[in-house]
């Protein structure tokens, strides 16, 4: 008897399911579409001083004359207004160590010359920030021991950053949020 009740209720349930499936959903009932992952163009970053993944020559380190290496980049989108550069060492014993911060360079620039003066304001436009040595400009690799990796990261931005001179990596990264239209990096190593 119980089985008969369930079997007789089955057509009613199927009809109910079919009719519910055909009811159009209002916008508030529609599932939220997945937002596509933000895509950024890739910059090609190179140096005449060293190739990707290769050792950084001594002259660009604290064991040499400690001058900034030459850098070049390509692939900057037309929407870019400025360039920022951050060079750091994620292998430092106390955590990532910042060697160079540059920001607000006009997007037309396609590189940096070797031995950039340690001035806050750049002649070609833009600013150099404070590195983790507590100085303005470039501070070369100077690991306590072993081989360390050094990432020279270049960012194309859709604006100029509302920062004061001598800003830090943290300040630049915060100001860049939501404004990166392309990025790339060059990896070099150094061993003492």
**Cβ burial 136-147 (10 Å sphere, 16+ → b, else e):** bbbbbbbbeeee
Given pLDDT bands bounded at 50, 70 and 90, which one contains residue 39?
Answer: low
DSSP code for 125: S
Among residues 22, 165, 140, 27, which one has the least CA distance to residue 88? 140
Once rounded to an integer, what is the mean pLDDT over residues 170-178?
98
Interval 65-103: pLDDT, tens: 999 999 999 999 999 999 999 999 999 999 999 999 999
Beta strands in 56-169, from DSSP E residues, in sequence order: 71-74, 82-89, 97-106, 111-112, 127-128, 147-157
Going along the chain from its start, the domains and CATH numbers come out as: 41-191 (3.90.280.10)
């Amino acid at each position: 008897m119980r089985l008969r009740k369930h079997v007789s209720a089955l057509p009613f349930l199927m009809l109910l399911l079919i009719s519910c499936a055909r009811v159009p959903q209002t916008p508030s009932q529609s599932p939220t579409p997945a937002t596509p992952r933000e895509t950024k163009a890739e910059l090609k970053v190179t140096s005449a001083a060293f190739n990707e993944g290769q050792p950084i020559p001594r002259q660009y380190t604290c064991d040499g004359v400690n001058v900034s290496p030459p850098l070049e980049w390509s692939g900057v989108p037309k929407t870019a207004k400025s360039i920022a550069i951050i060079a750091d060492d994620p292998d430092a014993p106390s955590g990532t160590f910042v060697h160079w911060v540059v920001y607000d360079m006009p997007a037309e620039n396609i590189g940096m010359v070797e031995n950039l003066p340690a001035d806050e304001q750049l002649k070609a436009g833009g600013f150099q920030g404070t590195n983790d040595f507590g100085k303005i400009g470039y501070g070369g690799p100077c690991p306590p021991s072993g081989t360390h990796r050094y990432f020279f990261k270049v960012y194309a931005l859709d604006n100029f950053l509302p920062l004061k001179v001598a800003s830090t990596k943290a300040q630049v990264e915060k100001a860049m949020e939501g404004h990166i239209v392309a990025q790339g990096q060059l990896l070099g190593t150094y061993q003492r």
